Structure 1
Amino acid sequence: MNYPWIDGFLKEMNGVTSDFKEEWNWDRYMIDGKMFAAVCRDDQGKEKLISMKLDPLEGDFLRQQYKDIVPGYYMNKVHWNSVMADGEVPEDLLKDMLEKSYSLIFAKLPKKRQKELLDEKTV
């Protein structure tokens, strides 16, 4: 995988939990149980795709710019996008995409919960 830093990067975000969904072969990353990213593995356990939610217009634009960004694998193709784990998407762009995915889900949490998660970071 060209992006071995992903697990640590995602787990550093406020309130993020993760699990392994065995029947899907996915590492899922969530905020309060709402998934914002997933690392999809092949049958041998090797990372295959990184999926995240994006604004539909931005996702469509990025898919036109990079052959390694495709509509979300087993996800809503309008809102979710997948990056090939062995692809050539620049690290900075992938980090930006993952942060935007996190922000989209974070923004849907109740304001009180958002404040609690932000306060956790300062403690």
Structure 2
Amino acid sequence: MKAEALKAACLAFPGAGEEFPFDESNSVFKVRGKIFALSRLGATPLRVSLKCDPDIAVKLRLEYPAITGGYHLNKKHWNTVVLDGSVPEQLVLEMIEDSYDLVVSRLPRREQEKLNWVALSRE
């Protein structure tokens, strides 16, 4: 997966946006002010950190050497994925969606409903 595809995948969700709170080279993808993905899009190799259910996070780390505990993040809830081709792209896309969904599930119901309305209006 290339940086452009990673960025597009993260921004494809309702309410998703990109910010640069740390510096101009670290993209932080948020929904309603909450982080669901982080990446230095210009880095080689390309990496992305994603929120993950703790039980699933451990299983993914055991199955794929390119998936490790979140770099500078709570390793119980975050994984960092090296996008070197060893993790199937479809799995990476599913992990991005799961990360977004985890964050949205923690938002107040009113915010979730607004996001659902935006998603329905896009269809």
Task: Identify the residue that residue 86 of structure 1 maps to in structure 2.
Answer: 84
| Greater strand content | 1
Aligned to 1:3: 2
CA distance in 2, matches of 1:3, 1:79: 25
**Which residue does 2:19 correspond to in 1?**
19
Contact in 2 for aligned 1:3/1:91 (Cα 8 Å): no
Is residue 46 from structure 1 mapped to residue 46 from structure 2 by the alignment? no
- Measure how far apart 1:39 and its partner are: 0.9
Q: SS of the counterpart of 1:21?
A: coil
Match of 1:96 among 72, 81, 94: 94
Identify which range, 55-64 or 18-27, moves more after superposition: 18-27
Cα distance, 1:22 vs. partner? Answer: 4.2
How far does residue 87 in structure 1 lie from its aligned partner after superposition?
4.3
SS at match of 1:118: helix
Which residue number in structure 1 is paired with residue 35 of structure 2? 35
Q: Which residue in 2 is equivalent to 1:105?
A: 103
Q: Which letter maps to 1:31?
A: V
| TM-aligned CA deviation for residue 117 of structure 1 | 1.1
> How large is the Cα RMSD of the aligned pairs?
1.7
Q: Per-residue deviation at 1:80?
A: 0.3
What is aligned with 1:70?
Answer: 68
Which portions of structure 1, spanning 4 or more consecutive aligned residues, are displaced by more than 6 angstroms?
Answer: none
Question: Can you give the 5+ residue segments of structure 2 that lack an aligned partner in the other structure?
Answer: none
CA distance in 2 between partners of 1:59 and 1:93 (Å)? 13
Q: Which moved more, 1:111-120 or 1:3-12?
A: 3-12
Unaligned 5+ runs, structure 1: none
- Match of 1:51, SS state, is strand
Percent identity over paired residues: 32
* Greater per-residue helix proportion: 2
The two structures have a TM-score, normalised by structure 2, of 0.88
